[in-house]
């Protein structure tokens, strides 16, 4: 298990698909509406060395900075991902496969794709120590949120060299039959 803290730098280029990460520091959430607005209006914050989490937080229960914050399907942001990587983004966090164009941009810009466990939003919310809206408050849960996380468990799903768990792992489980 590799413990890392944002901001991220060239060290992400040595990470391999399958590496387990405990991420701490500042990350930003952004979903479909925020990505579309960034593409149209420009960047509301510097992405250099940052990580974007494809999530829309739920309201905070009493005594907590945030509620559940599970990953959303990353493919919906594929059209916008290269734009953020060109701004210096070093990690994307979400769930599900990515388009070939995104994987190629990851190679070009030195960015990794980290998978968060879908369905574990309440557990991931426990990793959040601080939360505040950073941009686009009118978008509600789809606003860009600034989160301070501590030891958020993630897996390198796609590395900077194109190693891809979504391609390498399924064949291992197709062998030998099953249910």
Neighbour tally for 158: CB within 10 Å = 25
Of 9, 4, 5, the residue nearest 160 (C-alpha): 9
What's residue 140's pLDDT? 87
Interval 35-46: pLDDT, tens: 999 999 999 999
172 falls in which pLDDT band (50, 70, 90)? low
CB atoms within 10 A of CB 99: 15
Domains annotated for the chain, with CATH where assigned, are 2-174 (3.20.130.10)
Whether 159 has a pLDDT exceeding 80, the answer reads yes
CB 85 within 8 A of CB 111: yes
**pLDDT tens, residue by residue, 129-149:** 999 999 999 998 899 999 999
C-alpha to C-alpha distances, 53 to 69, 75, 172, nearest whole angstrom: 9, 13, 28
Cite the beta strand spans of the chain per DSSP E.
2-5, 20-29, 51-53, 91-94, 112-115, 128-135, 144-158
pTM over 0.85: yes
Which residues fall within 8 angstroms of residue 74, CB to CB, at 6 or more apart? 54, 92, 94, 95, 96, 97, 98, 113
């Amino acid at each position: 298990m590799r413990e890392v803290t944002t901001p991220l730098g060239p060290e992400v280029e040595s990470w391999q698909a399958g590496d387990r990460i405990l991420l701490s520091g500042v990350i930003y959430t952004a979903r479909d509406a925020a990505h579309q607005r960034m593409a149209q209006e420009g960047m509301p914050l510097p992405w250099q060395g940052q990580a974007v989490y494809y999530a829309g937080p739920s309201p905070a229960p009493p005594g907590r900075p945030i509620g559940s914050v599970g990953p959303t399907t990353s493919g919906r942001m594929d059209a916008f991902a290269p734009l953020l990587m060109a701004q210096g983004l070093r990690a994307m966090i979400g769930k599900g496969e990515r388009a070939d164009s995104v994987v190629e941009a990851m190679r070009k810009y030195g960015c990794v794709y980290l998978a968060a466990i879908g369905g574990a939003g309440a557990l991931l919310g426990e990793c959040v120590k601080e939360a505040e809206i950073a941009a686009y408050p009118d978008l509600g849960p789809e606003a860009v949120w600034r989160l301070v996380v501590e030891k958020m468990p993630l897996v390198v799903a796609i590395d900077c060299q194109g190693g891809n768990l979504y391609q390498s792992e399924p064949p291992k489980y197709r062998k030998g039959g099953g249910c």
